[in-house]
């Protein structure tokens, strides 16, 4: 049995992520936690998030989670979800400018000058840019569920694992070493989302 730590810093419905992981990995221990030792000792780490980036960064600092997240992202299988993707970057335009964790070089920018409703909410296709274990048994251009008004703009295209179009083509998945992160919500994306989570538990 492996331990999967789901970082809980008080932002978003992390319980739904836990339930989805428990469903695909019933023999694993999936724990919601902000305990630094639990995160450090876990075999895998999931970093979910919803809400505003400024409030999330404040919550991470209050729980002294910044360095624990950076360490986990460098050392073990690590999955970022939604805001858990955006927080990995250097800087976001949200909340009049918010510094991120600077794990991946690049910025988070707002959807602008598109003739579509913002936030981008609902089902949309994800184009798989690279072969990756987390895409195993998921067809290219499968649909996943998203809710966001900002998207990531990476400095290095080599980290791009998936793209989506919504007025503009944007990066919806990144892969870098043992880190994989997605803009969409796999826990809300039915069969393909559950497959991605299952792939993560076996990665």
For the question of residue 159 being annotated catalytic, the response is no
d(CA 62, CA 127): 37
Exactly one of 30, 56, 82, 159 is catalytic; name it: 82
Identify which of 93, 104, 112 has the alpha carbon closest to the alpha carbon of residue 54.
93
Told to judge if 82 belongs to the known catalytic residues of this protein, a careful annotator would answer yes
Helix H or strand E encompassing 132 = none
Task: List residues bridging with 99 in a β-sheet.
Answer: 91
Q: What distances in angstroms separate CA 176 from CA 38, 82, 113, 157, 203, one per listed residue?
A: 23, 16, 30, 11, 14
> Is residue 120 among the annotated active site residues?
no
Query: In the chain, which ranges are continuous DSSP H helix?
Result: 14-24, 36-41, 53-62, 66-75, 83-86, 190-202
Residue 108, token pair as written in the block: 């988070």
H-helix or E-strand spanning residue 82: none
**Which residues are the active-site residues?**
82, 185, 187
């Amino acid at each position: 049995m492996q331990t999967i730590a789901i970082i809980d810093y008080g932002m978003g419905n992390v319980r739904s992520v836990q339930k989805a992981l428990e469903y695909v990995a019933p023999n694993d221990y999936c724990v919601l936690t902000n305990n630094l030792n639990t995160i450090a000792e876990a075999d895998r780490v999931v970093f979910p998030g919803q809400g505003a980036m400024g409030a999330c960064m404040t919550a991470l600092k209050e729980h002294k989670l910044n360095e624990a997240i950076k360490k986990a992202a460098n050392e073990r299988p690590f999955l970022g979800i939604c805001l858990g993707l955006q927080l990995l970057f250097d800087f976001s335009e949200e909340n009049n400018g918010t510094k991120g964790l600077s794990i991946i070089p690049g910025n988070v920018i707002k959807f602008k000058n598109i003739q579509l409703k913002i936030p981008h909410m609902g089902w949309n296709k994800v184009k798989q840019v690279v072969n990756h274990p987390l895409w195993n048994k998921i067809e290219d251009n499968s649909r996943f569920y998203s809710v966001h008004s900002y998207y990531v703009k990476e400095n290095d295209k080599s980290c791009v694992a998936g793209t989506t179009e919504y007025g503009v083509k944007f990066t919806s998945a990144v892969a870098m070493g043992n880190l994989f992160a997605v803009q969409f919500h796999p826990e809300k994306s039915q069969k393909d989302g559950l497959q991605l989570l299952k792939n993560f538990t076996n990665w």
